[in-house]
């Protein structure tokens, strides 16, 4: 067979050639705008030409600090298709971490949303490699800034040449993108994505047994474009000619509900906190959600209660998936097998509450105390992966040796696998609660608590214990109507029939809010410190 290169250039070219009329709906600071793929492709070429004028060469890193909108989408293709590397930067990281990763990646040019400018003003003096800044704004003129040299995105495009041609000799193994994981300890770790990896991952997203993304879809990636490339959706969508709806800056659950209703969104993707917010909005106001064929949920375990509410109360199909920055991210997805469709509603939701089965193209093994675990849904072990869209190292980072061994990536996630091959994430290795030599899954306790009608959110952490080494403590946020009316005893009684006695939390602490990471996951380390201090003070 021929060895043709799998590069991103074919994706944007295909959108232009076959789907010039299809649209990208983009919400920016000044409202909703619509672009055809013909326009997007032309603007993308202009951006590539503009970057070249600024001195960007093959292999150079170009960083983006931006929300989900059409300009960011243009950068997604202009940068890699011209041979440079698209470095999406998480705007919610601390300023120190942002400065660290800009320097560590050696970004040459930064594309910045105008509202993020104040953050960059504070730290740009620490940047060691940046040679130019491009501001993405709807305004005619640039905002006041001390950055130098600074360019206006639209003016750069206007003065660029749209007859620019992408190089046709890109190596499919060349870096196309990079992203840093929001490490809970130490500095963020960089992952580099190759053209080939992104193309094959996009194929997996398009499989009916994957997320089934297709031309017929209207896709709303709520997951940020700085969080594992919005899970690869923008790449797949452009390649397939899918209509894209980009939610822009500072969106709310109300805005998401309105976009779904107005644009007739068929598939949307985000972390559980987003969907909790949307469910609350749907409780308060009626929206027409009938266009949705899938709510894709990953990044943290989807509590059973959320799945039940989407599927049974709102009649919206829920698709649970799992992955990491290191895995592009799609690894497993919870699609029922044909013969499981006959099961009861409850059983089907139980299956969907697991993360799912491995997507075609990847390999996995699960290593427990005595080697590979049995697929019995009970034995636990650490998940290791390999495949064409799994990273093989961290970028210039000695922590590579801890996670990448013998050609496998060790995820740091403890899982079980049932007889059908469905994987369930039990916990992160570091969040498992080790009590009296046994393991307690914080995730299981959280999910059980979150099915209680009074509970809005729950996070369970370990506290040190003299006799048992560690014990679980639950932190609970009650729904507004239940605050002050639901007791810890009531919640413990609710858990009792569901778990062995020694699994039950030693304490339930009520909180107003659970601290979250920059991508909306429970910040377990901060919570653990907080709870431990609280308990120490009381004793
Ligand atoms: P980080 O949260 O470290 O910035 P990632 O976004 O790469 O980085 O997070 C990957 C981690 O998120 C996984 O290792 C796993 O612990 C967790 N995770 C992702 N999806 C799920 C899921 N569906 N259920 C449970 N945990 C998940």
Give domain 9-23+35-193's CATH number out of 1.10.1050.10, 3.40.630.30, 3.30.70.141, 3.40.50.12780. 3.40.50.12780
Structural class in CATH, domain 361-428:
mainly beta
Of 263, 337, 320, 335, the closest CA to residue 447 belongs to: 320
CA–CA distances in Å: residue 83 to residues 62, 108, 113, 197, 488: 11, 14, 23, 15, 57
Question: 202 CA to middle of ligand 1, Å?
Answer: 19
CA–CA distances in Å: residue 230 to residues 179, 330, 410, 486: 11, 11, 23, 38
* pLDDT at site 370: 87
* Rounded CA Rg of the chain: 23
* pLDDT at site 193: 98
Q: Which two tokens stand for residue 304?
A: 């059973």
What's the CATH fold of domain 433-538?
GMP Synthetase; Chain A, domain 3 (3.30.300)
Cα(480)–Cα(458) distance, rounded to whole angstroms? 14
pLDDT along the chain (539 residues), means of 10: 97 98 97 98 98 98 98 98 98 92 98 97 97 98 96 98 95 98 81 98 97 98 97 98 98 98 98 93 97 96 92 97 97 98 96 97 94 95 97 97 96 96 92 86 92 94 90 95 93 94 94 87 88 83
Task: Choose which residue among 179, 299, 424, 441 to substitute to test ligand 1 binding: the one with the highest number of ligand atoms within 8 A of its C-beta.
Answer: 299
Of 279, 280, 342, 338, the closest CA to residue 307 belongs to: 279
- Say how many Å lie between the first and final Cα of the chain, rounded: 71
Name every residue whose Cβ is closer than 8 Å to that of residue 509 and which is 6 or more positions away in sequence.
Answer: 473, 474, 475, 476, 531, 534
CA–CA distances in Å: residue 249 to residues 76, 113, 203, 244: 17, 9, 29, 16
* pLDDT at site 184: 62
Cα(243)–Cα(22) distance, rounded to whole angstroms? 6
Q: Which two tokens stand for residue 355?
A: 């993360």
Q: Where are the domains of the chain?
A: 9-23+35-193, 361-428, 433-538
Q: Which two tokens stand for residue 67?
A: 């929300």
Question: 298 CA to middle of ligand 1, Å?
Answer: 7
Does ligand 1 have an atom closer than 6 angstroms to the CB of 181? yes
Task: Choose which residue among 324, 332, 352, 442 to substitute to test ligand 1 binding: the one with the highest number of ligand atoms within 8 A of its C-beta.
Answer: 324
Give the residue numbers annotated as catalytic, written as ranges.
181, 326, 434, 439
CA–CA distances in Å: residue 275 to residues 71, 91, 233, 480, 515: 26, 21, 18, 17, 17
- What SS3 class is residue 525? helix
Cα(230)–Cα(179) distance, rounded to whole angstroms? 11
Cα(37)–Cα(41) distance, rounded to whole angstroms? 6
Does ligand 1 have an atom closer than 6 angstroms to the CB of 275? no
Question: 10 CA to middle of ligand 1, Å?
Answer: 30
Minimum CA distance residue for ligand 1 atom 19:
299
Give the nearest ligand 1 atom to 182 CA: 4
Question: 321 CA to middle of ligand 1, Å?
Answer: 10
Question: 471 CA to middle of ligand 1, Å?
Answer: 23
In sequence order, which ranges of 354-419 are alpha helices (DSSP H)? 400-403
Question: 289 CA to middle of ligand 1, Å?
Answer: 27
* pLDDT at site 183: 64
* pLDDT at site 250: 95
Minimum CA distance residue for ligand 1 atom 11:
324
Question: 477 CA to middle of ligand 1, Å?
Answer: 22
Minimum CA distance residue for ligand 1 atom 4:
182
Give the nearest ligand 1 atom to 320 CA: 23
Does ligand 1 have an atom closer than 6 angstroms to the CB of 254? no
CA–CA distances in Å: residue 244 to residues 216, 236, 317, 403: 11, 10, 20, 35
The residue assigned the tokens 């031309």 is 215
Task: Choose which residue among 318, 320, 321, 322 to substitute to test ligand 1 binding: the one with the highest number of ligand atoms within 8 A of its C-beta.
Answer: 322
* pLDDT at site 439: 84
Does ligand 1 have an atom closer than 6 angstroms to the CB of 298? yes
Cα(83)–Cα(12) distance, rounded to whole angstroms? 14
Does ligand 1 have an atom closer than 6 angstroms to the CB of 518? no
C-alpha angle 79/85/91, rounded to 5°? 90
Does ligand 1 have an atom closer than 6 angstroms to the CB of 301? yes
* pLDDT at site 173: 98
DSSP one-letter code for 369: T
């Amino acid at each position: 067979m021929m060895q043709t290169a799998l590069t991103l250039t074919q994706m944007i070219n295909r959108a232009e050639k076959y789907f010039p009329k299809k649209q990208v709906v983009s919400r920016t600071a000044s409202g909703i705008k619509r672009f055809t793929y013909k326009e997007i492709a032309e603007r993308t070429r202009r951006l590539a030409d503009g970057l070249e004028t600024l001195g960007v060469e093959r292999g150079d890193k170009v960083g983006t600090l931006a929300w989900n909108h059409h300009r960011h989408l243009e950068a997604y293709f202009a940068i890699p298709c011209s041979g440079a590397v698209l470095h999406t930067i998480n705007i919610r990281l601390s300023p120190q971490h942002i400065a660290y990763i800009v320097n560590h990646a050696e970004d040459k040019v930064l594309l910045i949303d105008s509202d993020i400018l104040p953050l960059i003003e504070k730290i740009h003096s620490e940047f060691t490699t940046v040679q130019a800044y491009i501001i993405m704004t709807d305004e005619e003129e640039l905002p006041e800034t001390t950055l130098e040299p600074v360019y206006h995105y639209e003016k750069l495009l206007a003065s660029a040449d749209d007859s620019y041609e992408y190089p046709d000799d890109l190596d499919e193994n060349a870096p196309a993108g990079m992203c840093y994981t929001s490490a809970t300890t130490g500095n963020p770790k960089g992952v580099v994505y190759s053209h080939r990896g992104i193309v094959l991952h996009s194929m997996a997203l398009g499989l009916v047994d994957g997320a089934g993304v297709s031309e017929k879809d209207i896709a709303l990636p709520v997951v940020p474009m700085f969080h594992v490339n919005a899970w690869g959706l923008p790449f797949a969508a452009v390649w397939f000619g899918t209509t894209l709806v980009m939610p822009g800056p500072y969106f709310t659950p109300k805005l998401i509900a309105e976009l779904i209703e107005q644009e007739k969104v068929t598939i949307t993707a985000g972390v559980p906190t987003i969907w909790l917010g949307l469910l609350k909005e749907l409780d308060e106001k009626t929206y027409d959600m009938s266009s949705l064929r899938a709510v894709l949920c990953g990044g943290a375990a989807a509590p059973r209660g959320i799945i039940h509410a989407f599927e049974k109360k709102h009649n919206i199909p829920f698709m649970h998936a799992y992955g990491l920055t290191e895995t592009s991210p799609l690894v497993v997805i919870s699609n029922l097998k044909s013969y499981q469709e006959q099961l009861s509603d409850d059983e089907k939701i139980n299956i969907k509450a697991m993360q799912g089965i491995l997507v075609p193209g990847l390999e996995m093994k699960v290593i427990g105390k005595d080697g590979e675990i049995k697929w019995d849904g009970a034995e636990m072990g650490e998940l290791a992966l390999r495949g064409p869209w799994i990273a093989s190292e961290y970028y210039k980072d000695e922590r590579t040796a801890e996670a990448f061994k013998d050609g496998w990536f060790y995820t740091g996630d403890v899982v079980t696998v049932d007889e059908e091959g469905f994987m369930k994430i039990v916990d992160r290795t570091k969040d498992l609660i080790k009590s009296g030599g046994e393991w307690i899954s914080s995730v299981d306790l959280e999910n059980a608590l979150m099915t209680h009608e009074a509970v809005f959110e729950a996070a369970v952490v370990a506290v040190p214990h003299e006799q048992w080494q560690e014990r679980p403590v639950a932190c609970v946020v009650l729904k507004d109507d239940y605050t002050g009316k639901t007791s810890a005893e009531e919640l413990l009684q609710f858990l009792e029939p569901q778990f062995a006695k020694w699994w039950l939390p030693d304490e339930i602490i009520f909180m107003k809010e659970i601290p979250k990471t920059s991508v909306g996951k429970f910040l377990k380390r901060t919570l653990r410190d907080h709870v431990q201090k609280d308990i120490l003070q009381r004793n």
